Structure 1
């Protein structure tokens, strides 16, 4: 077991809100975290993928009335969409009886469906949190290359060997394609969706080119959009929006697309060792996506991520606009040289960045010209955690 940042986040949310929705892809550790929390207080746990547990909630109010005062944990809650209306009444009833916080912990792996259902029924009664795969500052900086190669799904990361890890990820992909996605309703051939997912991995971190993807798969651009929406909804792919506030600039308006877990990128491309990864053209995009996901996860809640690119060549791999108003301009490079192009500084000026950071493959914290600071990934995560804890978004010295 590794200590997860999400553990304290969920505990704090339960102390402040009646219901907490914890979102994350399957096998990311949500159930383990929930059962750990259940061990600290009176709780009941139901897995709504089990027919027996769904039958318990055939008359939800009858059962839930008896659990007042306990934390009710409902796993894969999107399996019973009709339950949300009952939860609203249960929360209101419990409030009248003096149980105002920490009543329900809802776990889900399909964000759009779950958010839509809960937003309609539980407005003002629920807090949303996302649980990412394992992060570098959870497993230790000495495991950087293992985490990058294998990805952050706990069973993949902790496998006995790289081969065992790759086998786990192959099984994970197959299960999603053959069981989990069809269970959500879309009738998409598994082989077609696997090809689409693999095409995204080959283009890791590139601009979305729906026309090229459609041509490669022999489908329409509208169908490509539907496939992409599905993988984004399952929190397996990130669609990173372009920065859009410089109206006077000729900005790139297409989003960038990343397969969110680096281990899945490598499994889709058949890269089972660090040597094979380092010799593959995707190495730069894979490193960028790996760092980008870690940085976004470490940022304070409410942070908005973007990228920036102009037709003139000014570019930023990642912009983090923190709730404090601070704007972090971040370049990600798999290099040991703490240098950036002139286009980085032009872009940082365009967006009025308050902080300039280069995340690189070196081992030292190096101050560079024009306010730029070059940092290893672990140190950059530490700065973002500090900004989170301080609540101000400032960059510590």
Structure 2
């Protein structure tokens, strides 16, 4: 059978049903290029594997996007997850989400704590409660996946405490949380592998240089893109400085610090945040996104593949060797694209200004809460007095009515007797 077919090809050429070789080559090349592009943009899978049974992980941003995939993978390996969420633990969505996560991972050690990352007071309430324990609570990992962005075309927004929202959630909240949790991190036994994983974004490359006064100055030029990039750049500078802060601590047992800060760039993925950015938060943008979804599918990672670099940072044993503060991208260590990330002068000024801003904001917030509490107490006192007066009035009115009824009854009885 093969010989006659080959002979027919040799003497008679290609059969009529066989496609034109040039057309076949064109389509094969196109499909091959698309497949190669998709393979490249999907990113590298995590080559490290590790059991996490018994390890305690504090995580922000674990209910959506890349954070949700990371939470699932950590929980499926046995980690005890403490998810910091803006919603209270009894929120119906959060209850269903945690129940589903427990079921899918067969891990019941998953729970939530309400922490509003847009509030320094909320962060302090959780963190001080965590460290207020003797002996110190176990803490193996902190994963800071939470982030926010302002869609292009929208105006600058501030938190209730008066801080620009992106700067607060993406940077200052992490600084405040890690600052208060430092004693718990430092107190972990030497044989324990402690990691602080800080995801970032490649947009930091285009961020303006951090200058003195950037933390508190509200008059500088602002745009959604630059604000997001600047918050990520500041977070990376802080991460390097925080590792030095941990290394400078002298343990009571005189052993080296066992905590490692790992900075991770998960890459661009098809997350809710990315969709908001691409669609500009408009219906027209959403329509165009759906129409050209193939382009987004081709060029952007899935959330699960974007989480691979974070999982590598959580599980790779090689990261314990050598100093901390390493930068991971595509499941491998890479260099920073900017030198000022390791500039000690920039880091020192950023650290000092951030501390001053946190202290100033917390004092103002405490005064405001005290004033509101006092006003509430006075209002309740006034309402209580008014309620008491109203009760007395009603009592007197009731007594008057009873006297009238009694008097009327007495008059009626007297008249009947006279008759």
Scaled to the shorter chain, the TM-score interval is under 0.3
Higher percent of residues as helix = 2
Q: What TM-score, normalized to structure 1? A: 0.28
Tell me: higher relative CO, structure 1 or 2? Use CA pairs within 8 A at least 6 residues apart: 2
What TM-score do the two structures reach when normalised by structure 2?
0.26
| Structure having the larger proportion of residues in strand | 1
Greater Cα radius of gyration, structure 1 or 2 = 2
